[in-house]
Structure 1
Amino acid sequence: MSSSLESLFLALAVITTGLYAGLMLTFLTSIMPGLAILPDERFTDAMRRFNEKVPGPFFLLLFFGVIAFPAVVVFGDDGVDRVLALAALACAVGSHLITIAGNVPLNNRLAQSEGGDEGAARAAFEGRWNRLHRVRTLLSLAAFVLLAAIGS
């Protein structure tokens, strides 16, 4: 792979991973604390609406980009620090595994509970979702920092 193509994929990796990590951090530091003060019915309704809208085209582009672009960097030719790129990719994959195996099933259960006991639905959802989200946010931020370090 040419040096300019390698630089392009590294830039795409940094950008998508930074945007994704920023989205995760925004949820962690602003959205979830704001929702936490809502009564059960409003909290569960708001989370259900977020869960319906978040996996849109922009989110999916970022979600797949934070794996695809760093993978190209890792498996490209010479010129980058493969250890940092591989560590960033491992963090991104770890974050995605948490999302797929933890947060998405919780989102699905919350959606299925609509029309039931909102207090029970919230109790089964909020604490677990937030714990998983903290870990995937930290992993996403670590992936971003590692990729940015390659580019500096």
Structure 2
Amino acid sequence: MTSRDAVLAAAAVATGLMAGLFFAFSVAVMPGLAMTGDRTLVEAMQRINAAIQNGWFLLVFAGALLLGAAGAVLCVRDGARTVLPWVVAGTVCYLLVLVVTFAVSIPLNDRLDAAGPPGAMTDPAAVRERFEAAWVRWNLVRTLLCTGALGCLAWALVLSGRAGAAGS
């Protein structure tokens, strides 16, 4: 395995972990919370948003982009012209995930947190209404983009392996 392949594999794993996280929210967490009361959804999401801010999450969240970019640099260095477009496409898709996260998801999370403790809210239904549908919609966008990024990186690994086998 070349260093390029190792970096691409790490980028694919990190991107896959993020795609899985977004997918789990799309198909299980948010549908489950949709069946709860307003205060329960608000409190659960406030706690999830606080808990997710940890070193392991940040390592994978940022690492996926950094590893994708490093993979692109290594493709240029190695002259891997058939691999490079797929790595770039995967990295751009993941970069768009970050754009959505910072432009939409985090501001929604911040507004939810600023609403205060659910037990002290006078209108938790209004807080939920301003949060839930938009967050779910944009999380689906992140899920699709991240899954696309993973597919591109996986295909880049396949092509890189073929190129390596042809060169041996």
1:48-79 residue CA offsets vs partner (Å, 9 max, x unmatched): 00000112111111110110000001111223
Relative to the length of structure 1, the TM-score reads 0.95
| Bigger-Rg structure (1/2) | 2
Instruction: Give 3-state SS (helix, strand or coil) of 1:38's partner.
Output: coil
In structure 2, the residue matched to 1:106 is 108
- The Cα of 1:135 is off from its aligned counterpart by 0.5
In structure 1, the residue matched to 2:37 is 39
Asked whether 1:137 is paired with 2:143, we answer yes
C-alpha distance in 2 between matches for 1:58 and 1:20: 12
What letter corresponds to residue 17 of structure 2 in structure 1? L
Instruction: Please list, as runs of the form range in 1=range in 2, the aligned pairs for 1:11-90 lying within 5 A after superposition.
Output: 11-76=9-74, 77-78=77-78, 79=80, 81-90=83-92
1:27-62 residue CA offsets vs partner (Å, 9 max, x unmatched): 111111001100001110000000001121111111
In structure 1, the residue matched to 2:7 is 9
**Farther off after superposition, 74-83 or 140-149:** 74-83
In structure 2, the residue matched to 1:149 is 155
What letter corresponds to residue 52 of structure 2 in structure 1? V
Relative to the length of structure 2, the TM-score reads 0.86
Aligned positions, number: 150
Any gaps of 5 or more consecutive residues in structure 2?
Answer: 159-168
C-alpha distance in 2 between matches for 1:133 and 1:56: 20
C-alpha distance in 1 between matches for 2:26 and 2:51: 17
C-alpha distance in 2 between matches for 1:66 and 1:95: 11
